[in-house]
């Protein structure tokens, strides 16, 4: 399930995940998260079994997707043939950065 596969995102991973790894992990994370609604019947939380991971899944996804974003951009910039160009800001991030 999503939480089991991606729980490592909830621990400090600054040094473990580099640009290329983040670039590869971010779309896999999005794909896994987009599959979760098919498993979640969208019932009110009080009707769900105790421990149903809806909220945990959402928080884990947001933390991981945003956290991987900057590293993925750096990985893309390093692998891009136009090394002198800047990478545009990531679109579709789940939270605004001020």
DSSP calls for 63-74: HHHHHHHHHHHH
54's tokens: 């809806």
Q: Enter the tokens of residue 87.
A: 């990478």
- Split at pLDDT 50, 70, 90, the class of 85 is low
Dihedral sign for Cα atoms in the order 50, 55, 56, 58: positive
Given a contact cutoff of 8 angstroms between Cβ atoms, the answer to whether 73 and 87 are in contact is yes
Tens digits of per-residue pLDDT, 30-69? 999 998 878 878 888 888 888 888 889 999 999 889 888 8
Q: In whole angstroms, how large is the CA radius of gyration of the chain?
A: 16
pTM assigned to the model: 0.67
- In this predicted model, which residue has the larger pLDDT, 86 or 51? 51
């Amino acid at each position: 399930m999503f939480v089991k596969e991606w729980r490592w995102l909830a621990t400090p991973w600054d040094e473990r995940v580099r640009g290329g790894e983040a670039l590869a992990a971010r779309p896999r994370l999005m794909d896994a998260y987009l599959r979760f609604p098919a498993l979640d019947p969208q019932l009110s939380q009080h009707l769900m079994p105790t421990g149903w991971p809806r909220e945990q899944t959402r928080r884990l996804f947001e933390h991981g997707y945003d956290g991987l974003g900057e590293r993925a951009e750096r990985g893309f910039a390093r692998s891009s043939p136009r090394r002198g160009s800047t990478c545009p800001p990531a679109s579709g991030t789940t939270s605004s950065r001020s």
